[in-house]
């Protein structure tokens, strides 16, 4: 074989090898495509349930603050030294109960003098009345004595009023706070002696957004819960609302009225308030069926062909385990309620077999 023949043979052999390699790659690519296509057609097993109309109670939730039915800081009206303290911190007192007595020896002495002067003026008036009846003195003298007597009586009443200010009493029944004074303490007008709160009933003030004001009215039933008493509900009613909205939050303060016979609710406590707004039929689905991605809220609806269809919905309310759908679904629509994380648009879906009662999930 000459040199030219050998070169031709080598070119022919090389071409055959390249052709065989390309054919093999083509077959491998087709096989890979076929395998991937087969995997995509495999149905996804999920739990499917039909959306249904169920009774739904609309509620409005807000965070409120407890306020006493009546509340005041007990103070003195005059400057004087404390003589006696008649209460202990945390004591329940009735209306008019004496709390603190201030010293008043000077006023007692002034009262005795004024009382004696008033009695003397009244005696002179009685005598002059008899003389005037006999026309032995002028009527003007009787009138002057009457004015003197009345002024003396008024002076007695004024001193007695000053003495009453030295006995500080409870203006209403309530629970006293911490005692701030002791015998011998010099108090002045405005000095705090103790706080007094009537907590037999309490108010809870909570904000309501402007968009919900039409759904809140006096007399509506409300309930409250606190972290201090987990598991306990405090029933109450809406009493009234403020006359204007807060320009910053665009919310109005609403006041709820709660009975508090055991004094469990304390002024200043935070209360989770739930306002009941009535019961109606609504589309209710399991909470796990509703997906939230960014600002988009949707569910996976199963088409008659068994395909997955993403449907945006508007949520109207939530309770543990359930979500009320305001718009986007109709009663009877079949939706994915479990396994939503593995569903893609247009995927073929297969309903999972229900788990028998008492069977363990593998």
CB atoms within 10 A of CB 309: 18
Using CA atoms, how far apart are residues 327 and 77, in angstroms rounded to an integer?
64
Using CA atoms, how far apart are residues 180 and 24, in angstroms rounded to an integer?
97
Q: 216 near 275, Cβ under 8 Å?
A: yes
Residues with Cβ < 8 Å from 43, sequence gap 6 or more?
Answer: 306, 348, 349, 350
Q: CA distances (Å), 149 to each of 82, 85, 123, in order?
A: 34, 38, 9
DSSP 76: B
Dihedral Cα 75, 79, 83, 84, nearest 10 deg:
-10
Assess whether pLDDT exceeds 50 at residue 292: yes
Which H or E element spans position 299?
strand 296-302
Residues facing residue 299 across a β-bridge: 311
Q: What is the pLDDT of residue 34?
A: 41
Using CA atoms, how far apart are residues 206 and 66, in angstroms rounded to an integer?
9
Using CA atoms, how far apart are residues 250 and 211, in angstroms rounded to an integer?
9
Confidence of residue 36 (pLDDT cuts 50, 70, 90): very low
By mean pLDDT, which of 33-42, 105-114, 135-144 is the weakest? 33-42
Decide: residue 344, CB within 10 A, 0-12 exposed, 13-18 middle, 19+ buried.
exposed
Mean pLDDT of 340-345: 82
Answer yes or no: pTM beyond 0.85: no
Mean pLDDT of 96-120: 77
Closest by CA to 175, choosing from 64, 66, 65, 74, is 74
Q: 65 near 269, Cβ under 8 Å?
A: yes
Assess whether pLDDT exceeds 90 at residue 338: no
Dihedral Cα 352, 284, 51, 302, nearest 10 deg:
-60
Q: CA distances (Å), 23 to each of 13, 27, 29, 36, 180, in order?
A: 16, 6, 10, 20, 100
Q: 253 near 284, Cβ under 8 Å?
A: no
Using CA atoms, how far apart are residues 335 and 295, in angstroms rounded to an integer?
21
Nearest-5° Cα angle at 299, 294 to 305: 140
* Domains annotated on the chain, with CATH: 44-56+281-351 (2.40.420.20), 61-67+198-279 (2.40.30.170), 104-165 (1.10.287)
pLDDT tens per residue across span 206-220? 999 888 888 888 888
Confidence of residue 310 (pLDDT cuts 50, 70, 90): confident
> What are the φ/ψ torsions at residue 172 (nearest 5 degrees)?
-160, 160
Assess whether pLDDT exceeds 80 at residue 204: yes
CB atoms within 10 A of CB 62: 21
pLDDT tens per residue across span 139-180? 888 778 788 888 878 877 876 776 667 788 999 999 999 999
Residue with token string 């016979």: 261
Tokens of 59: 């509620």
Which H or E element spans position 282?
strand 270-286
């Amino acid at each position: 074989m000459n040199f030219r023949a050998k070169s031709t043979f080598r070119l022919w052999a090389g071409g055959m090898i390249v052709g065989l390699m390309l054919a093999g790659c083509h077959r491998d690519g087709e096989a890979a495509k076929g395998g991937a296509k087969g995997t995509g057609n495999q149905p996804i097993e999920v739990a499917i349930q039909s959306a249904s109309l169920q009774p739904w109670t609309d509620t409005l939730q807000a965070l409120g603050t407890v306020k006493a039915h009546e509340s005041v800081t007990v103070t003195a009206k005059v400057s004087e030294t404390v003589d006696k303290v008649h209460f202990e911190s945390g004591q329940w007192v009735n209306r008019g109960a004496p709390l603190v007595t201030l010293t008043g020896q000077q006023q007692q002495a002034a009262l005795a003098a004024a009382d004696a002067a008033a009695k003397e003026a009244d005696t002179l008036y009685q005598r002059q009345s008899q003389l005037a009846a006999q026309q032995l003195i002028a009527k003007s003298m009787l009138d002057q004595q009457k004015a003197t007597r009345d002024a003396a009586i008024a002076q007695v009443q004024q001193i007695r009023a000053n003495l009453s200010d030295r006995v500080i009493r409870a203006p209403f029944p309530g629970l006293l706070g911490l005692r701030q004074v002791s015998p011998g303490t010099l108090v002045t007008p405005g000095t705090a002696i103790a706080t007094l709160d009537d907590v037999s009933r309490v108010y809870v003030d909570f904000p309501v957004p402007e968009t919900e004001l039409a759904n809140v009215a006096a007399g509506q039933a409300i309930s409250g819960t606190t972290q201090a008493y987990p598991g306990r509900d405090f029933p109450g009613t809406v009493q009234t609302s403020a006359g204007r909205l807060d320009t910053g939050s665009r919310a109005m303060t609403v006041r709820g009225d709660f009975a508090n016979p055991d004094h469990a609710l304390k002024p200043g406590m935070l209360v989770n308030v739930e306002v009941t707004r009535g019961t109606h039929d609504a589309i209710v689905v399991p909470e796990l069926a509703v997906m939230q991605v960014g600002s988009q809220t949707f569910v996976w609806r199963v088409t008659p062909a068994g395909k997955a269809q993403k449907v945006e919905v508007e949520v109207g309310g939530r309770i543990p385990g359930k979500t009320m759908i305001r718009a986007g679904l109709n009663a009877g629509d079949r939706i994915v309620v479990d396994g939503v994380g593995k569903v893609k648009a247009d995927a073929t879906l297969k309903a999972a077999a229900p788990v028998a009662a008492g069977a363990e999930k593998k």
